[in-house]
Amino acid sequence: MLRSGDDPGAPPSVPPEPSRVTARKDVPRRFLRGAHELFANLGLLLASVTVVLLAAEAGTRLFSRIGPSLLVTDPVVGKHYVAGFQGRVFVDEVGREVSLRFNQEGFRGPDRPRAKPSGTRRIAVIGDSMISAVATDEDETLVRRLETALQGWRPDVPLEVLNFGVSSSSTGQELALYRRRVSAYQPDVVLLAFFVGNDFADNSRRLTRAPRIYFELDGDGNPRQVSAPAAPGAASRWLNLHSRFYVWQKRAFRILRGSGHSLSRSLSPVWRVFEPPDRPELVEAWELLASLLRRFQADVETDGSRFAVVLIPSAHQVHDDLWAELAKEAHESGRSLDRDQPQRRVEQVAREAGILFLDLTPVFREANAERPSTSPTSPYLHGRYHLSEGGHRLAAEAVFQLLIQASALSR
């Protein structure tokens, strides 16, 4: 029924439709509102993470004395320390601060000109952390003690002993280091320190996988470089020097990985140097080591220098109680070990190649005859780790005698 005033021709009344233009205008508003909420949440998350990280950094500095990480991976030489660093750094292994300085090349000791001064005699000592010895004051290290002894022996001749030790090195990486850095210093003698405790395994990519330079044998049995570590990014370098929490968490993960290996009840790769070489990976590792030593000698002698190998035994080869522990662990893993196999094999390679060779095992054993690893006279820190001050002294005296008796500096 029509009401008065209604138009009988008009369509039925319906609710008005929302304006499409108005709806389109609401879309960017909703988008902006959602973006604002998203960024607000992200900002809150970032702030929370920042607070947690700052708290972790403060806690690490407050409750630990961990120092900066001074080791730098390098695609050219494998590894070196922070070039030009000088300062006191707390070292867990000795529970105190040690004064450290690294030269322009990133190795321990003072800067030396690459061009050897006229009349100067130089010895370059290349090795791993047993030679860099960052847990020992510089004047007490093998390198500095050797330099002091040689200078006293020939006060009329300028004598320098250069430290090219770096943690986590290997024979192959040390060959690369010699070629690309050490040879430029024109050393008269190159001393290569071979540490039984890990150098054998560290040479082989089939036994270890750390970020270092690796070599493999080519078809003619000669060593050829097959890998190198990547250079660290700027952020990583900064964090290593300035963030104690960053350094702590890296160390914690390394410890966890080591604990996982121990729980697996398998023999650590570093101890396979004592196994009979009856497996392909061990045969290959021994052949690689022999080839690296021969190549090292050839390179050094081509440069007109004298080459020598100094073997540093592991603490297990010196202390009977440690060897008993290792032998038991190997037995539980179904392995048998030969305590003096490394010395025999390395000495055989040196003898056949005519390489000047010094085995420090008899020296260390004689000085610690039948004494346990807990003895304060142990040549190792805490009886099992890096060389103690006593170990450095014994090693320096033995190397000094080797050089004098072999007339290694008479060229």
Indicate which CATH number applies to the domain containing 116.
3.40.50.1110
Predicted confidence (pLDDT) per residue in 141-180, tens digit: 999 999 999 999 999 999 999 999 999 999 999 999 999 9
Judged against a pLDDT cut of 80, whether residue 56 lies above it is answered with no
Q: How many separate domains does the chain show? A: 2
Predicted confidence (pLDDT) per residue in 234-246, tens digit: 777 677 666 766 6
Per the CB < 8 A criterion, the answer to whether 359 and 343 are in contact is: yes
Residue 201 to residue 170: CA distance in whole angstroms: 9
Residue 17, in any domain of the structure: no
Residue 5, in any domain of the structure: no
Residue 130, in any domain of the structure: yes
Mean pLDDT of 326-347: 95
What pLDDT sits at residue 4?
A: 46
Shared domain check, 114 and 57: no
- What's the whole-model pTM score? 0.84
Per the CB < 8 A criterion, the answer to whether 345 and 385 are in contact is: no
Judged against a pLDDT cut of 60, whether residue 258 lies above it is answered with no
Shared domain check, 146 and 49: no
Contacts by residues 180-186 (CB-CB < 8 Å, ≥ 24 positions apart): 180/76, 180/77, 181/77, 181/105, 182/124, 182/126, 183/299, 183/303, 184/114, 185/112, 185/114, 185/116, 185/122, 185/124, 186/115, 186/116, 186/122, 186/303, 186/305
Mean pLDDT of 77-87: 96
Residues in Cβ contact with 389 at an 8 Å cutoff, skipping those fewer than 6 apart: 136, 140
What pLDDT sits at residue 251?
A: 64
What pLDDT sits at residue 410?
A: 76
Shared domain check, 31 and 176: no
Band (22; pLDDT cuts 50, 70, 90): low
What pLDDT sits at residue 131?
A: 98
Residue 236 to residue 233: CA distance in whole angstroms: 5
Residue 165, in any domain of the structure: yes
Shared domain check, 171 and 50: no
Compute the 3-state secondary structure of the chain and give helix, strand, coil in percent, each to the nearest 5.
50, 15, 35
Boundary of a domain, candidates 11, 36, 63: 63
Residue 386 to residue 167: CA distance in whole angstroms: 11
Percentage of the residues of the chain whose pLDDT score is greater than 90: 71
Q: What are phi and psi of 123, to 5 degrees?
A: -125, 130
Shared domain check, 149 and 43: no
Judged against a pLDDT cut of 90, whether residue 195 lies above it is answered with yes
Helix (H) or strand (E) holding 380: none
Shared domain check, 396 and 297: yes
Shared domain check, 59 and 82: no
Nearest to 316 by CA among 389, 384, 371: 384
Band (292; pLDDT cuts 50, 70, 90): very high
Q: Which residues form the domain of 154?
A: 77-230+260-405
Residue 13, in any domain of the structure: no
Shared domain check, 313 and 267: yes
What pLDDT sits at residue 129?
A: 97
Shared domain check, 325 and 196: yes
Residue 154 to residue 27: CA distance in whole angstroms: 89
What pLDDT sits at residue 2?
A: 42
Q: Which residues of 259-273 are buried (b: 16+ CB within 10 A; e: fewer)?
A: eeeeeeeebbbbbbb
Judged against a pLDDT cut of 90, whether residue 205 lies above it is answered with yes
Residue 15, in any domain of the structure: no
Shared domain check, 53 and 119: no
Shared domain check, 85 and 224: yes
Both tokens of residue 179? 């070629």
Boundary of a domain, candidates 18, 37, 63: 63
Residue 10, in any domain of the structure: no
Judged against a pLDDT cut of 50, whether residue 267 lies above it is answered with yes
Band (127; pLDDT cuts 50, 70, 90): very high
What pLDDT sits at residue 254?
A: 60
Nearest to 379 by CA among 358, 393, 396, 362: 393
Mean pLDDT of 380-400: 97
Residue 91 to residue 167: CA distance in whole angstroms: 14
Residue 244, in any domain of the structure: no
Q: What are phi and psi of 40, to 5 degrees?
A: -65, -45
Judged against a pLDDT cut of 50, whether residue 62 lies above it is answered with yes
Shared domain check, 162 and 46: no
